[in-house]
Every structure is written in C-alpha cells, then in structure tokens.
Amino acid sequence: MFPRFASPLRHRPVPEYRIRTILKSKTLQRLRFEDFSHADIARLCDTITGKSAHLKTEARLVWDSKFLYVCFTAEGRCQRATLTRHDAPLHKERVVEFFVDPAGTGKAYYEFQVNPLNTAFDALILNNAGRRHRRGPIFKGLPDWNPVRFYHRVDKTKERWRVFMKIAFAELFLAPTVPPKKGERWRANFLRIDRVGKRKEYQAYSPTYWLDFHVPSRFAGLTFV
C-alpha cells in the first residue's frame, strides 16, 4: 500500500480509546464476544476520507495483568482469502490489523494481522516519520520478530467474521512497564482491508487521510483504566 494523497483533515485530533480490564481472564479458546461487552467500541471508517465505510467494522480491547485481548467484528458476506502461510502478504487480500506503539514515540511499533483463514502476520516496524504525515525516510518492517505468545482465532457466520487476538505484554518489549500501569497511555490503531465490488476499501479507527496505514502521528491514544 503506497501513499496517494494527503488531506488538511490530517490535523484533526486523534480518537482516544479507554481500555478496560477483562472481567475474567480467559484462554483463547474460551474467549467470547461477551468478554468484551463492557469494552469501549472503536468504529472504523474510510481511512482516506474519514467518512463511513461501506462495510461495518468494530474493534474492542480489554486487558489483564498479563495479556492484551483484541476483538474485531467485520461485517461482510464475502470472506474469501487464500493465504495460509505465516507472515504472508495478507494486506493483498482481506485482513484486519492492529498496530500498537507502547512507548508512544511513533518510531517503533508492532503490527498484528489476521485474515479470515486465521493466518497471521506479525512484525516490528521501524518508522522515523516524526510529525510527517507519511512514512519516514527510514522505514523497515521486521517480520522475523515472531512473538511466541500471540494467539489468534477466527469465528464466522454468513454475515460477518470475528477475530480474537490475545497478546502477552511480555512480548511487547518496547513497553515502558510490563504490565502497563493504570493511567498509562499508549498509541494504537485498528485497521481493515476488504473489497467492495471491484475496489479495495481501507478502514481505520483513526483515519490517516492518506492511502497508507503507517502514519504514526495519526495513531489513536490508548489509555489503560
């Protein structure tokens, strides 16, 4: 995905998401949508325009002392995907993505992706974008970073697919404290790539107003409460 154009809307404030504690810690297989029922809802929009997306997507986060739990609900009857190899270029097909920058510097952050086949991509991203509304001159994805305790599962119906992620804080070595303290603020974004008719739709919780997700200055705030 490459930059196409920028917008003066990029100066708008980013969303602020409050991440609440999970009511009861769960294994991945026991994790249910109801475990996120008390979580704030992050509604995704068109990342270029900031307007409503054609396909509805919502994300939720909760946490405990050891793990970060993510739930994506992606509307769409067509859930076709073909890539099954770990760290394959999932962005070329349907996928949901979670970017998280524990230090909040915008210089290094983690990228997690899962497609409808439960194939995962994970990478450490180096990006010295600073306040630029684009990728920095030094941009490098490191897919050789493979966190052992990144668990993921996909549940499907005819109308939607749902992704659960469970990520150990201990894998996120960029974090200032492990586990994070209440009141601590990270940066993050929830993302989706899908197809509407013959065109691709790029969605984000915090729109980048640019055809690129790797704009750290547009990452949302993420505060642990």
For residue 6, the model assigns a pLDDT of 53
User: For the chain, which domains are there?
Assistant: 16-224 (2.60.40.1190)
What is the distance between the alpha carbons of residues 163 and 154, in angstroms, rounded to a whole number?
Answer: 5
For residue 129, the model assigns a pLDDT of 83
Per-residue pLDDT of the chain (225 residues; tens, 9 = 90+): 444 555 667 778 999 999 999 999 999 999 999 999 999 999 999 999 999 999 999 999 999 999 999 999 999 988 999 999 999 999 999 999 999 999 999 999 999 999 999 999 999 999 998 777 778 889 999 999 999 999 999 999 999 999 999 999 999 999 999 999 999 999 999 999 998 888 999 999 999 999 999 999 999 999 999
Q: Is 0.75 topped by the overall pTM?
A: yes
CB 123 within 8 A of CB 207: no
What is the distance between the alpha carbons of residues 133 and 135, in angstroms, rounded to a whole number?
Answer: 7
For residue 52, the model assigns a pLDDT of 97
